[in-house]
Amino acid sequence: MQYNIQTNNIMGALLAVALFILAAPAMAEPSTPFVINGYVVDSTGAPCNGAVVQVTNTNTGLIWNAVTLATSNSYLLVLDSENVSIDDVLRFDASGCSESMMVEHTIALAEIDTGGFSEDITLEPATADIDLIVTTVTAPTNLRNDVINPISATVENAGTDNTGSFDVTLDVGSTTVDTVSIASLAAGENTTVMLLWTPAATGSATLTVTADASGVIVESDETNNDLLQTVNVLEKLTVTANVRIEGTTDTVWTGDVTFSNSTITASDGSVHYLNEPTALGALDCADKSGGFGYVAENAVYGLYVSEINSEPAIGGDGWMYRVNYVSPWVGAAEYTLADSDEVLWYFGAWTAPPLAIELNKTNVELGETFTATVTAYNGTSGLFEPVDAAEVYVDGAPHDSTGPDGTLTMSLGSPGTHQIHADKGTWADYTRSEKKSVSVATSALRVDIGDYVVTSDSSIVAPITVYGITNYGTTTIKLEYDSSVAWVTSVDNTPDSTVSSVNINNPSGVVTFSAWNTDGVSGDVAIANVTLEARGPSGSTTTLDLTVTTLKDTSYNDIPVYDDDGSFTVSESEPPVVGSPQSSPDVILNDNGRARVPGTNLSTLSVSVTDTAGIASVTIDLTPIGGDSAAEMTHGSETIWEIEVNAVTGVNETHCLVVNATDTSGNSNTGVCIPLTVLIRGDVVRDSDVAVDIVDAYYIARYTVGLEPEPDEFVAGTIPADSWDGVDIVDAYYIARYSVGLESAP
């Protein structure tokens, strides 16, 4: 019978490889290849492309899967002559095109001598009792356009036989928008799949979920495979919400986030698509900005947060959330936010109410009083109630406590912007309040001397300046310093001020001087120029402590001032000490966009860096492997700095990636590099062309029949892409397809 046989370049290429192996001189006598091939047609005689052909030696129990193609009805199986013997019975189980067939073949002596045989297979209609039904289709309460919407569907096998692999599709109108594969479904069982849809417009739409849309499963009833649902798509919802995260001992993060939807990956690897802005999505957005990290658990009742900022739950207490101070009765993944909502994530107990703080003034003068009022939210009454003995903090330090009415009258003694918040007890008692800002202005004038970094045995001139003065008349100022670090060699006049007397006592580290301007001068006035000489060792530092004992204008009026002390540091000249360069692992595969076995394409590079002055930065040049020329390394434990890298270039090379460590004095060390070897997956035969080609496929094919040593699966394993299952003919087959442009690079 003449069949309409479909072939392609790849099957031809593999047949050629098999024939070449047969023709090659035996290198491990008496073992030789034994090649089985043939074609599969359906019951009408038409080619059945991509059929599954499994061959079993019924005498030995060995089972093999033949290589087939989706674009051809041919199959190929290359065995070793030791796998078969005369009179062995081989059973062929073939399926495809909704049909199947089992045939048996007895090995003859002539076939052993010729090294194989051909067996064509004609399939027959299946007689299995399978009935696939889509029982439910569930969409989010509010479908939104321009974001991912998860559509869940339950598929049941109402028949008495198990299924093979089949697809479940989601159609919107006449367009298929998503497909999910089910490997098998046992008789009487059901499974729920998630299908994804991103609507391009609002309005009404018809969803159709179909089981086995391509008809690969022969069913007792082919008319009940789909279920329709009419839905209404709303406009995408975008909100801006304030997020505050309170840990056990401090605020983790606070700020505004603007978003429309979220994709959450739970700790078990499951991915959850939230098509509206939710309380959990707000946490996820905050994490993207703050990088504090969190863990979402996929529980039976839904997603819940078990850890934030490396703080896990303690017994029955842990992470909870509130919106506008109210504790919702739904999970954070189900709570849809409105614009301007305030989301509070906090570590606490169910009985711990959140505190709030209000200030009657947020802009005050130095020493001016203002009132802080601390309340706690009562979830039963919905009211904020005053809190007695709540501690009020200024810039993180305890200041004073509230009275029975929850208020505290206070003042601040330093200018600038200060953060005020309240707390009481521990996280199990109350959740600390938000931080409120208070700006403290002053009518007093600032006097400063500045901050200086100098090299050993050198000196600088530091002007002492008063800012915004009117009619400067006279002053007396004391300057104190560590004489083991610096000495004052002179205090000199400036264009606006004459130094009338000076007392320099370097052994004690004290200078006192008086100065004046008899005519008076206004503005930013340099009162005196102080020359300081470095006396200390590299890295030593001292505060330049100013005390203005007298400052008057030309009418002899006191001028209020505050002192802004300076600093004097002797810089060091030694660069950081860099050592212990390591890469873990020291050999990785290149990244080309295809999946990799976890850990095979990433390496953690690390060095030890020490310096007496302190480390300013540690970077590494990753340009040889396609990265940044100055990628920042992060400070790990003790002296270790590290970075995780991948490689998109520089394959089949061992690189030495140069580290640049810089200290706070500006000294750098670029004399150490970290070795890293990058290999290209599939390049089993590493020759001068640095490429994956048919030579590599040929080597693996020869290995599978015992003609070459086993290649390293680290490089040779191409199928599956993200795990290892040993090196076999499928790996060679993938490389062969790649060599003629039918697969992506391994």
Task: Domain 445-570: state its class.
Answer: mainly beta
- Residue 257 pairs with which residues in a beta bridge? 241
The two structure tokens encoding residue 126: 């299946």
Mean pLDDT along residues 189-199: 98
Q: What is the model's pLDDT at position 664?
A: 82
Q: What is the pLDDT of residue 214?
A: 85
Mean pLDDT lowest among 33-37, 434-438, 441-445: 441-445
Q: Which CATH superfamily is domain 132-234 in?
A: Immunoglobulins (2.60.40.10)
Residue 16 has pLDDT above 50, yes or no: no
230: pLDDT strictly greater than 60: yes
pLDDT of residue 497: 97
The CATH number of 356-441 is: 2.60.40.1930
Q: Where in the chain is the domain with CATH 2.60.40.650?
A: 577-679
Residue 48 has pLDDT above 60, yes or no: yes
* Residue range 577-679, CATH number: 2.60.40.650
Residue 563 pLDDT greater than 90, yes or no = no
In the chain, CATH 2.60.40.10 sits at: 132-234
pLDDT of 262 strictly over 60: yes
**What stretch(es) of the chain map to CATH 2.60.40.1930?**
356-441
Residues 6 or more apart whose CB falls under 8 angstroms from that of 6 comprise 47, 49, 71, 72, 73, 74
Residues 658 and 672: their CA atoms lie apart, in Å, by 6
pLDDT-derived band at 318, boundaries 50, 70, 90: very high
The answer to whether residue 237 scores a pLDDT higher than 70 is yes
Supply φ then ψ for residue 11, to 5 degrees: -60, -35
Q: How far is CA 460 from CA 457, 483, 530, 532, 592, in A?
A: 11, 15, 8, 5, 56
Task: Report the amino acid identity of residue 269.
Answer: G
Answer yes or no: are the C-beta atoms of 534 and 457 closer than 8 Å.
yes
Ranges for all domains in the chain classified under CATH 2.170.130.30: 239-348
Residue 2 has pLDDT above 70, yes or no: no
**Quick one: pLDDT at residue 128?**
64
Has residue 17 got a pLDDT over 70? no
| Contact present, 113 and 93 (Cβ < 8 Å) | no
pLDDT bracket for residue 8 (50, 70, 90):
very low
The second-level CATH assignment, the architecture, of 239-348 is: Beta Complex (2.170)
- What type of residue sits at position 706? G
Please give the structure tokens belonging to residue 3.
């069949």
Mean of the pLDDT values across residues 523-545? Answer: 94
* pLDDT reading at 511 higher than 90: yes
pLDDT tens readout for residues 650-664: 999 999 999 999 988
- Residue 687: pLDDT above 80? no
Residue 434 pLDDT level (bands cut at 50, 70, 90): very high
Global pTM value: 0.50
pLDDT band at 30 (very low <50, low <70, confident <90, very high): low
Domain 9-125: what homologous superfamily?
Aromatic compound dioxygenase (2.60.130.10)
Mind listing the pLDDT tens digit for each residue in 346-398?
999 989 999 999 999 999 887 889 999 999 999 999 999 999 999 999 999 99
Residue 20's pLDDT is what? 43
Give the list of residues 6+ apart from residue 567 with CB closer than 8 angstroms, or none: 451, 452, 541, 542, 543, 544
CA 374, CA 390: separation in Å to the nearest integer?
7
Mean pLDDT of the residues in the chain:
92
Confidence of residue 19 (pLDDT cuts 50, 70, 90): very low
Q: Which residues pair with 386 in a beta bridge?
A: 375
| Tally of CB atoms within 10 A around 186 | 11
Relative orientation angle of helices 729-739 and 9-23, to the nearest 10 degrees: 120
According to the model, what pLDDT value does residue 12 have?
52
- Cα dihedral sign, 19-23-27-31: positive
Per-residue pLDDT band at 126 (split at 50, 70, 90)? low
Residue type, 259: F
Q: Which of 384-393, 437-446, 503-512, 718-727 has the lowest mean pLDDT?
A: 437-446
- Band (115; pLDDT cuts 50, 70, 90): very high
What residues does CATH 2.60.40.680 cover in the chain?
Answer: 445-570
- What pLDDT is recorded for position 13? 43
Nearest alpha carbon to residue 641 among 619, 662, 664, 658: 619
pLDDT at residue 56, rounded to an integer: 94
> b/e per residue, 219-257, with b = 16+ CB within 10 A?
beeeeebbbeeebebeebbebebbbbbbbeeebbbeeeb
Residue 538's pLDDT band, with cuts at 50, 70 and 90, is confident
**Sorting pLDDT into bands at 50, 70 and 90, what band is 686?**
confident
Burial grade of 30 (CB within 10 A; 0-12, 13-18, 19 or more): exposed
Looking at the predicted structure, is the pLDDT value of residue 175 above 50? Answer: yes
